[in-house]
Chains A and B, each alone.
Chain A
Amino acid sequence: MAQVSLNNVRKVYPNGFEAVKPASFRIEDGEFVVLVGPSGCGKSTMLRMIAGLEDISDGALTIGDRVVNDLDPADRDIAMVFQNYALYPHMTVAKNIGYGLKNRKIPADQIAAKVQDAATMLNLTDYLDRKPSQLSGGQRQRVAMGRAIVRDPSLFLFDEPLSNLDAKLRNQMRIEIKALQRRLGVTSVYVTHDQVEAMTMADRIIVMNAGRIEQIGTPAEVYHSPASTFVASFMGAPPMNLLTGRAEAGRVRVGNIMLHQHHEDRDLTVGIRPEDIIPDTHGHLEVEVTLIEELGAHRLLHGQMQGHPLTIHVGKDHPVETGHIRAAIKPNAVSLFDPTSGVRL
């Protein structure tokens, strides 16, 4: 178990590209932190710096009470699960799981016992003598997990571990990983580009974009109070509606619709979550619905309001018909951003 803290950690490649701009944050003991962002945002580089697979250009990385900048990955007391599992193809499942222990000169009988424990925990006991090529994707992922937990590390690192699995298996493994992490109480850093994984698994989410941390917060904070238009549009499917608005005489307006928000006079970007707009015959939003997406449990109405594209999330009882509807915004559901910098106001 350990805390991890980054102090102005930065990554610059020899060609001058700054993959990670100076980042500082702290991960508490036993916390599950998810790094999320689009491809190329620096989240994997960040994880690889924590793992020691990538040199840290600047700043200090502390795991537990040691600064580990210059330690080899093997000496950082970490375990990592890779996207492509990275199992050793020529070794059996048991040997794959036990390889790290063998390299640490742990006696064979102890290795066998620990491998057995890990396999039991992951329902792999029937597969210990198989080679990775004889396993399904989900089982391979479990073996990769087993390799991590058998070492009893103070920090788990996950690099998009579920992105090679099909959707159903991904949901199942997501829950398993989360439950396992809860049970073992090991501090974990998890990298993904999938915002659903981020939302469901994280204690805290770190949203990254273009090498910079956009926001650090609990899933609820990140979802309901995004720190920037980037976070607003990245987290949530469908994303937050972002409308061009203006505050005049203290009131926020989108086109000629007055909202309940107040702000000093200026141009604004107004953000409203699709589920915070509710169809209401007395509502003061007038929406022209042009397309309806049926999702079973609910429906998504896509349309236009005052020339802005708008998505509304409605229940399954809402009639499936396009055309003109009126809607209202739930109270306190509006986020305001600076239109040029995108920063929340």
Chain B
Amino acid sequence: MSVSKRFRWSAVLDHSILIIGSLIMILPVVMLLQMASTTDIHTMKNGPGLIFGDQLPVNFEKAMFKADGFTGANTGVRMLYNSMILGFGFAIGKIVIGMMAAYAIVYFRLRFATLAFWVIFTTLLLPLEVRILPSYEIVQRLGMLNTYQGLIIPLIASATATFFFRQFFRSIPEELVEAARIDGAGPIKFFVDILVPLSQTMIAAMFIIMFVYGWNQYLWPTMITTEEGMFTLVRGIKQITQTLEGTNLPEYGRSNLLAIIAILPPVLIVIFFQSWFVKGLTESDK
């Protein structure tokens, strides 16, 4: 059999579209990197370009360790740390709560279980923005302003995670549940010993989604955190550009480098869990 690699114009066209598309996607990141590598004056004069400078270490130093405001607590390192806590707390919390809710709905003969599920599901129609005032009031009265609990807990219930875990649990064969019952595994053992390990791939997928979602939260942290030591990266970057309006030169290098740093963890999480995801998909079978 001869494998003929015929030259086809359609292939050229396909690839051209793909290449142009990826260039468009990657260009803002390249510009971020470029502006992070030049002095602020250079950026001010020339705008974004393609000529890289040698200011990366200087800007990195500023981005990570320089603080503004009164307390000097909101350094890049501190904001990165806060964002990490928010991202992980968000993802882990949502997965745990979502799994447990789905477990209750799928495996226990509750009255109105279906109704309960659809009620949870309809909360998708009520995003944070709709309920932000009552949520804020509750957090404030509980004394959780400027705390990690206050950042994470009010947003931890997740209809999305509950829905995905419900669908996944329903695909697990009934016989497995019965075998576990005969093997003497009670509800908690079944959950921990069997359901959680079987859900690995689903957990990985949820983790990606929820981590990125938590990491990118802007409105809620802006409401809840007023102390500079509690700022997350996403809101902190905004803060830098805000404080530097007026007669001062905007710190382009510092804020753009922070933006790059803010992109990195979600990207790493996706890359890390993606390999897991594929591994789980190919190895498991029911």
By a beta-carbon cutoff of 8 Å, the part of chain A in contact with chain B is: 51-53, 72-74, 78-80, 82-84, 86-90, 99-100, 103-104, 131, 133, 147
Contacts and interface: CB of A to CB of B under 8 A. Distances in A.
A74 B183 contact: yes
Contact of B179 (A52, A80, A131, A133): A80
22 contacts: A51-B178, A51-B182, A53-B178, A53-B181, A72-B181, A74-B185, A84-B173, A84-B175, A86-B173, A86-B175, A87-B179, A89-B198, A89-B285, A90-B194, A90-B198, A99-B183, A100-B184, A103-B184, A104-B184, A131-B283, A133-B284, A133-B285
B197 interface: yes
A137 to B, nearest CB: 12
A147 B180 CA distance: 11
Interface residues of B, number: 21
B179 A74 contact: no
A100 B183 contact: yes
Given A86-B179, A100-B183, 13 more contacts: A51-B182, A53-B182, A74-B181, A74-B182, A74-B184, A89-B198, A89-B284, A99-B185, A99-B193, A100-B182, A131-B283, A133-B284, A133-B285
Contacts of B179: 80, 82, 86-88, 147
The A interface, classified by DSSP as helix, strand, loop or mixed, is loop
- With most chain A CB atoms within 10 A of its CB, the pick from B178, B183, B198, B200 is B183
Interface in B187-207: 189, 193-194, 197-198, 200
Contacts of A53: 178, 181-182
Contacts of A73: 178, 181-182
B176 interface: yes
B141 interface: no
B286 interface: yes
B283 A133 contact: yes
B109 to A, nearest CB: 11
A323 B179 CA distance: 56
Contacts of B178: 51, 53, 73, 80, 82, 86
B175 A83 contact: yes
B253 to A, nearest CB: 49
Nearest to B175: A86
Contacts of B183: 74, 99-100, 103, 147
Contacts of B189: 103
Nearest to B194: A88
A263 B47 CA distance: 111
A80 B176 CA distance: 12
Contacts of B180: 88, 99
Nearest to A103: B184
Nearest to B286: A89
B174 to A, nearest CB: 9
B181 A103 contact: no
Given A89-B198, A133-B284, A80 B182 contact: yes
Nearest to B172: A89
Contacts of B198: 89-90
A86 B185 CA distance: 14
Nearest to B200: A90
A144 to B, nearest CB: 8
Contacts of B184: 74, 100, 103-104
Nearest to B284: A89
B266 to A, nearest CB: 28
B155 to A, nearest CB: 31
A295 B179 CA distance: 40
Top 6 closest pairs, chain A to chain B, by CB: A74-B184, A100-B183, A86-B175, A86-B179, A103-B184, A90-B197
B148 to A, nearest CB: 33
A79 B283 contact: no
Given A80-B179, A99-B193, A90 B185 contact: no
A333 B181 CA distance: 48
A87 B175 CA distance: 9
A86 B173 CA distance: 8
Nearest to A104: B184
Contacts of B182: 51, 53, 73-74, 78-80, 100
Nearest to A144: B179
Nearest to B185: A103
Nearest to A99: B183
Contacts of B286: 89
A88 B193 CA distance: 10
Contact of B176 (A88, A103, A131): A88
Contacts of B181: 52-53, 72-74
